[in-house]
Structure 1
Amino acid sequence: MSSSWMRRDLTDYDLKLLKVFRTVVECGGFSAAETELGIGRSTISIHMNSLETRLGLRLCQRGRQGFSLTREGQAVFNAILTLTDAHDEFQHQLAQINQDLSGELILLAADQLDAPRQRNIAKAIGKITAEAPQLHIHFDLLPLQQIELALLKNQAHVALMPGYRRIDGLSYAPAFSTPIYLCCGAEHPLFARPDTELDDPLLAGFDAIHPGININPEGRKLLQRLNTTARAYQFDSRLSLILSGAYLGFLPDAIAAPYLASGELRYIRPDTYQYAFEQFYVRRNQPREPEKVELALTALLAASANESGKKGGM
């Protein structure tokens, strides 16, 4: 690293260039970083050239062979992560001094939320905002792998997600479990045939949808009986495939119910072709902001327990 860089303080422009570099690395290249940064590839290239000039280092290789970090680039990227962690820790310590729960509370989910789950989480968020009105709630849907990475990197506080695989460094608290059924659309050849005619060999002769992730053992056994030629993790995209009449696929009752009522869907052998769809509230074992995590997790689990209690009394 150039001696002139090391002798002076970081300017706002330096920090901007470092942010661009970090985003490019995390996105895997210039093209993928365009959307994240909101600037064009040519501007990203100018920023990267400026950073390399100011550092006196070659940070990455880019060209026909794709994007890759040099040894120096990896070292600078690691230093940026350390700088970011120090900045976040500084903000956290200030918040502790002020004894206020402020800043962002980042909640993530991996699946489309049905109406019961939306009401459940809405109650929890209402409780959170009542207890900590200075918090700014950020709630979004992301793919599983991105959620796991965000939790491990302290970029999210609590996530609602399946627990089919367990990641070291994360803890899992049961949120809810609901049955998920094999569905058939009205345009499908099997729609009008009774369940008594639908044996396993017959079902295996039709295309079906795989969720694209490793699910629980009961679900895996059922999928192994089917001819899974399509993939769709999110329920809304899976629903479209099923309604097309080209595929069989699994949906939870809360998603399927309106289409069952309208006659656009039916369940296939629901006593046999169903498995438990289990969701968990997941957090980092040692989060940077434990007070926020505890507040959110307590509210979410209390709302889940209240919902379970109502169901038990029905």
Structure 2
Amino acid sequence: MAKLPKNLSQHDIKLLRVFQTVVDCGGFTAAETELNIGRSTISIYISNLEQRLKLSLCQRGRQGFSLTQEGQAVYNAIQQLEQAHQQFSQLVAGLTDECSGELVILTADQLDQSRLNLLSKLCAALQQQAPQLQLALDVLPLQQIELALLKDQAHLALMPGYRQIDGLQYQHVFSTPIFLCCAASHPLFGVSDAAISDEVLAHYPAIHPGVDINPEGRKQLQKLQAGARAYQFDTRLALLLSGGYIGFLPEEIARPYIDSQQLRYIKPGDYQYPFNQSIVSKQTPRDSAKVQLVLNILQTLLT
């Protein structure tokens, strides 16, 4: 089995991380964006690592990217090295009750009132129980959130339960109904629900969220004609208010526009589905003490 150098320098670690990212991404081209460096630079790094290890790690060319047997062994060793680092971090974190440094919480879209209330209560409790923590809240696309959690670049996320992937754990927090809507300038605004059939709806362009949502919502979307794509609720609202599309909005976001008659619900008894929200974290996070603190607070807030 391939062995890493006995004394790993910072440069060695950098080269190993580049190699790991290339393998995770499936090749040099896909790794360019993740590493934010060009293919030629990546190639130089991999060549330097191969010289350092005196091994051929991968095949790259017209036939694509593939690992050699030695490359697979080195990649496995890197995974073991990361696990050992995580175990060490968890051990040190367990030796002290103090949580300090940055705590990163991500969300996937515009916050409705329920999620805003939950996050504000969570932040207030964190400030009281761990004032030395520096809170960092940000919004990212769903796939980037999942990657950030897996890479320990974020600690937790509040996101819709559209899928579950290995390495992450999910805690359901609440559901809100999401309804099919149209604007006052849309042809269906003045049509009664009794006169609106599935066939009628299929003739009008609809807004698709652009991701694979839960099964209930998927069944609803399959009845409609996709004419635009918008995952974020504020951009979806803009498309709706244009009068050119029908689309789904959570009740809490749609309500003020419903009350002012800028929007209406279309057959709300039939065209609705639950918008499930979960707190998501890594199963074995590097900063386990911080993550556990948040989960303990959430358990208190939700009971």
TM-score scaled to structure 2, two decimals?
0.81
Q: What one-letter code is carried by the residue in structure 1 that aligns with 2:251?
A: D
CA distance in 1, matches of 2:137, 2:131: 16
CA change 1:17–1:166 in 2 (3 A) is: closer
CA RMSD of aligned residues (A): 3.3
Match in the other structure for 1:68: 66
CA distance in 1, matches of 2:63, 2:256: 50
CA distance in 2, matches of 1:61, 1:138: 41
CA distance in 1, matches of 2:96, 2:228: 53
CA change 1:71–1:110 in 2 (3 A) is: farther
Check whether the contact 2:105–2:157 (CA below 8 A) recurs between aligned residues: yes
Match in the other structure for 1:132: 130
Aligned pairs for 1:257-296 (under 5 A) are: 257=255, 259-260=257-258, 264-284=262-282, 289-296=287-294
CA distance in 2, matches of 1:244, 1:284: 40
CA change 1:238–1:24 in 2 (3 A) is: farther
Match in the other structure for 2:212: 213
Q: What one-letter code is carried by the residue in structure 2 that aligns with 1:40?
A: G
Aligned pairs for 1:1-314 (under 5 A) are: 6=5, 8-145=6-143, 147-148=145-146, 156-166=154-164, 171-211=169-209, 212-217=211-216, 219-228=217-226, 230-257=228-255, 259-260=257-258, 264-284=262-282, 289-304=287-302
5+ long unaligned stretches in structure 2:
none
CA distance in 2, matches of 1:232, 1:193: 25
Moved more, 226-235 or 8-17: 226-235
CA distance in 2, matches of 1:76, 1:93: 26
CA change 1:69–1:155 in 2 (3 A) is: farther
Deviation track 1:237-270 (CA, whole Å, cap 9, x = no partner) reads: 4334434444321111233345446655332222
CA change 1:203–1:136 in 2 (3 A) is: same
Check whether the contact 2:93–2:288 (CA below 8 A) recurs between aligned residues: no
DSSP-derived class of the 1:266 partner: strand
Match in the other structure for 1:310: none
CA change 1:186–1:42 in 2 (3 A) is: farther
CA distance in 1, matches of 2:167, 2:49: 34
CA distance in 2, matches of 1:160, 1:27: 26
Check whether the contact 2:106–2:140 (CA below 8 A) recurs between aligned residues: yes
Check whether the contact 1:17–1:48 (CA below 8 A) recurs between aligned residues: yes
Moved more, 224-233 or 17-26: 224-233
Overall identity of the aligned pairs, in %: 57
CA distance in 1, matches of 2:26, 2:127: 36
CA distance in 1, matches of 2:55, 2:89: 31
Deviation track 1:162-200 (CA, whole Å, cap 9, x = no partner) reads: 335455665543312111110224553323434343222
5+ long unaligned stretches in structure 1:
306-314
Q: What one-letter code is carried by the residue in structure 2 that aligns with 1:125?
A: C
CA change 1:90–1:18 in 2 (3 A) is: same
CA distance in 2, matches of 1:24, 1:125: 37
CA distance in 1, matches of 2:279, 2:268: 28
CA distance in 1, matches of 2:28, 2:250: 39
TM-score scaled to structure 1, two decimals?
0.79
